[in-house]
Amino acid sequence: MLNHIKQFANYKTPFYWYDMGLLQETLQVVKNESEKYGFQVHYAIKANANEPILNMIQSFGFGADCVSGNEIQAAIDSNFSPEKIVFAGVGKSDDEILLGLDNSIFCFNVESIPELQVINELASKVGTKAQVALRINPNVNASTHHYITTGLEENKFGINMWEMEAVLSRLETSDSINLIGLHFHIGSQITDLQSFKSLCVRINEIQQWFYSREIIVDHINVGGGLGINYSSPDKELIPDFASYFKLFNDFLETRPKQKVHFELGRAIVGQCGSLISKVLYIKKGVQTNFAIIDAGMTELIRPALYQSVHKIQNLSSNLIEQKYDVVGPICESSDSFGKSLMLPETKRGDLIAVRSAGAYGEVMSSQYNLRTKAMAYYSGTPNKSK
Give which of 237, 221, 255, 235 is closest to 111, Cα–Cα.
221
CA 357 – CA 302 distance, rounded (Å): 9
Kindly state the number of chain residues that form the binding site for ligand LLP, as judged by CB under 6 A.
22
Q: Is 41 in the site for ligand LLP (CB under 6 A)?
A: no
Close Cβ partners of 325 (under 8 Å, ≥ 6 residues apart): 285, 288, 289, 290, 291, 336, 338, 339, 340, 341
Which residue, 8 or 158, is less far from ligand LLP as judged by CB? 158
CA 105 – CA 198 distance, rounded (Å): 30
Close Cβ partners of 250 (under 8 Å, ≥ 6 residues apart): none
Which residue, 152 or 280, is less far from ligand LLP as judged by CB? 152
Please state the closest distance from residue 304 (CB atom) to ligand LLP, in A: 11
Q: Which of 58, 188, 198, 274 binds ligand LLP (CB under 6 A)?
A: 188
Please state the closest distance from residue 84 (CB atom) to ligand LLP, in A: 15
132-161 residues in contact with ligand LLP (CB under 6 A) are: 148, 150
CA 40 – CA 61 distance, rounded (Å): 10
**CB burial of residue 276 (10 Å; 0-12, 13-18, 19+):** buried
Q: Which of 100, 151, 225, 303 binds ligand LLP (CB under 6 A)?
A: 225
Select the span of 12-20, 232-240, 261-269, 376-384 touching ligand LLP (CB under 6 A). Answer: 261-269
CA 246 – CA 79 distance, rounded (Å): 29
Select the span of 56-64, 69-77, 111-119, 224-232 touching ligand LLP (CB under 6 A). Answer: 224-232
Please state the closest distance from residue 369 (CB atom) to ligand LLP, in A: 21
10 Å Cβ neighbour count for 141? 13
Q: Is 185 in the site for ligand LLP (CB under 6 A)?
A: yes
**C-alpha atoms less than 13 angstroms from C-alpha of 79 in its C-beta half-sphere:** 9
Q: Which of 265, 296, 329, 358 binds ligand LLP (CB under 6 A)?
A: 265
Please state the closest distance from residue 294 (CB atom) to ligand LLP, in A: 22
Q: Which of 261, 302, 310, 371 binds ligand LLP (CB under 6 A)?
A: 302
Please state the closest distance from residue 317 (CB atom) to ligand LLP, in A: 29
Q: Is 47 in the site for ligand LLP (CB under 6 A)?
A: yes
Cross-strand partners of 110: 134
Q: Is 306 in the site for ligand LLP (CB under 6 A)?
A: yes
Between β-strands 15-19 and 219-221, what pairing exists: parallel, antiparallel or unpaired? unpaired
CA 105 – CA 86 distance, rounded (Å): 7
List residues binding ligand LLP (CB under 6 A): 44, 47, 65, 88, 148, 150, 185, 188-189, 223-226, 263-267, 302, 306, 359-360
